[in-house]
Amino acid sequence: MVETAVVEELLDAIGARDRARIAACFAPAAKLRALTPHQVRVLDGPEAIAGQYVYWLDTLESFVLVSGDVTAIADRARLRYRFYGRDPAKGWQENEHTAYATVENGLVAALNLTCAGFRPSELPG
């Protein structure tokens, strides 16, 4: 069974939009493969991966993580979270990421992620 503590820390770091904490969850040779509505991204290393999260999240004026969970699935950890963000030009947007992490020596060695895309929405009451 996979150890999920580092993936739970990653979820908390994403919720805090904390670049340093996100980077600290990844092994030096970690790889992110992300399928988004606009392209497939492949990034190597903790700083590049954390930079991608900054690109996705830091331009949002407001950010609310509304749900998230980590589940062990055999030798992988599934990470799923849904959030709302207020884009300065487009207003409130809703998005969800689902990812599968490979954990080695207590760090994320690989993360394969799918993104629903930023969808126009209203922040729930």
Domain locations in the chain? 5-120
Mean pLDDT of 100-112: 98
> In CATH, which of 3.10.450.50, 3.65.10.10, 1.10.10.10, 3.40.50.20 is domain 5-120?
3.10.450.50
- pLDDT tens across 64-77, in order? 999 999 999 999 99
| Predicted local distance difference test score (pLDDT) of residue 1 | 79
| pTM: predicted TM-score of the whole model, two decimal places | 0.95
| Predicted local distance difference test score (pLDDT) of residue 69 | 98
Interatomic CA distance for residues 24 and 13, integer angstroms = 9
With H, G, I as helix, E, B as strand and everything else as coil, classify residue 36.
coil
| Predicted local distance difference test score (pLDDT) of residue 118 | 94
| Predicted local distance difference test score (pLDDT) of residue 125 | 66
Interatomic CA distance for residues 92 and 85, integer angstroms = 6
Mean pLDDT of 44-66: 95
Mean pLDDT of 20-47: 97
pLDDT > 80? residue 3 = yes
Interatomic CA distance for residues 58 and 20, integer angstroms = 13
For residue 123, what pLDDT band results from cuts at 50, 70 and 90? confident
| Predicted local distance difference test score (pLDDT) of residue 68 | 98
> Hunting for tokens 């954390």 — which residue is that?
50
Mean pLDDT of 95-105: 98
Mean pLDDT of 40-56: 97
